[in-house]
Amino acid sequence: MNRMFQFLLCLFAPVFLLAQQTRVNVPHIRTLRVIANDNWQAYPIIRLNTPDLVEISFDELTHEYHRYTYKITHCNADWTPSGLFDTDYLQGFNDNVIEDYQNSLNTTMLYTHYRFTLPNDEVQLLLPGNYMVGIYGEDSDDTPVAQACFSVIQPKVGVSAEVTSNTDIDTNDSHQQVSFTVNYAGMNVTSPQTEFKVRVYQNLRTDNCVTDVQPTYLRPGQMQFVHNRKLIFPAGNEYRRFEIVNMHYGYQDVEQVQFFNPYYHATLYPDQPRVNYSYDEDQDGRYFIRYDMAQDNATEADYLFVHFTLQTDKPLAGGQIYLSGEFTYNQFTPEYALTYNGQDGVYEGVQLLKMGSYNWLYLFVPDGTSEGQTAPIAGNFYETENEYLVLVYHRPFGGRYDSLVGMQTVRFSQE
């Protein structure tokens, strides 16, 4: 077996259960992207019955062609399958071949780039809500090698939101609080508390998403969510960043790039836990694929092994430290965990990443929990410029699925 694949298999913990978010389930599939309307900084949300498109792409680490297909599942607000028939939410076929693929060009690590867009000539989306796209290989049977998640909105409600550091537990300290109002005048709603579901995200994270929150006040055609403790988030700190857009110069936060036959390795400058707020113009956890000499970043950007190092006096007891960002798909799996090197007094981790600009956090996940904490490594500082996303779903009495009917983004900024 190729040494590189042996290394990846040691890092990768295959997960074959249906998860609630975009993820990759096998080590030879990398850089799964879900991008709406060609805007890598937007959330993967498109509007129903409009020219909007979502592009799904990934790389397979070989130049050999393999036949991949995709199947679409409509999901509820919590990303569980809604149980609808294919014909309820699709027009066309629900088992289509990915026909757009290209081999990488002049890269040390060979890969084939696959891509497709939705909706397309083969399949149209009929309903608003969440969609999970399972990607299947020739030998994967009923187990997807990857799954890509996006949402379709049919706006029916107005959402206004704000975020403040003057929270119900502290003022200009370590938390931020989200408040928002949902205006549903004109809709036929009998019981707003039970018919509407809201989900609130901080940046791109799913581990600390707020669900099952009830309105503070009800008025005719309006729900207000204010002074709600469930909507208080630890503020964290700005994301750390690195950039590699050329193997020979122009690095950001990279100590050195070296070629160890047959692949490149990049060593980032050692990090330390932050004790103060650190301002930076980050992208709230996102990443962007780029090679500054390429005509096509998708097929000409190379892969390299990126080495992360976090210096600490001693290991943190009672939990595990993970890398977190869009490139980890917000997963707390062994592939993204750091290991402690007691001899050097550092946490270490290696990621196989495509050239570009990346954001990440170090999150501490206590044993027996599934939510990451920023406090032990990054700290929590009210100044942090976080982005919050509010999604509103509706299921009328007797309805069979959750429709996405409203959304709003709001940023906390010091300006």
Could you give the CA distance from residue 34 to residue 43 in angstroms, rounded to a whole number?
9
- Amino acid (1-letter code) at residue 293: M
The pTM for the full model equals: 0.94
Q: Where are the domains of the chain?
A: 3-153, 158-235+384-411, 240-366
CA distances 101 to 93, 153, 208, Å, are 20, 29, 36
Q: Write down the pLDDT at residue 250.
A: 75
CA distances 11 to 311, 353, 362, 364, Å, are 21, 14, 18, 19
Closest Cα partner for 205 from 292, 91, 323, 120?
323
Task: Summarize the confidence of residues 133-144 as an average pLDDT.
Answer: 89
User: Which range has the worst mean pLDDT, 10-24, 61-75, 176-190, 359-373?
Assistant: 10-24
Closest Cα partner for 208 from 217, 199, 216?
199
Consecutive H or E run containing 223:
strand 222-225
Could you give the CA distance from residue 145 to residue 23 in angstroms, rounded to a whole number?
9
Backbone φ and ψ for 299, nearest 5 degrees, come out as -115, -10
Q: Write down the pLDDT at residue 20.
A: 58
Q: Which residue has the higher pLDDT, 8 or 344?
A: 344
Q: Strand, helix or coil at 388?
A: strand
- Amino acid (1-letter code) at residue 64: E
* Per-residue three-class SS string for 248-282: CCCCECEEEEEEECCEEEEEECCECCCCCCCCCCC
Would you say the CATH fold of 240-366 matches that of 3-153?
yes
Q: Write down the pLDDT at residue 21.
A: 87
- Residues 322, 59, 285, 73, CA torsion sign: negative
Quote the mean pLDDT of the chain.
94
Architecture per CATH, domain 158-235+384-411, reads as Sandwich (2.60)
What's the topology of domain 3-153?
A: Immunoglobulin-like (2.60.40)
Task: Summarize the confidence of residues 18-23 as an average pLDDT.
Answer: 70
In this prediction, residue 17 has a pLDDT band, given cuts at 50, 70 and 90, of very low
CATH number of the domain located at residue range(s) 240-366 in this protein: 2.60.40
Q: What is the pLDDT of residues 219-267, one digit of tens each?
A: 999 999 999 999 999 999 999 999 999 999 878 999 999 999 999 999 9
Q: Write down the pLDDT at residue 415.
A: 66
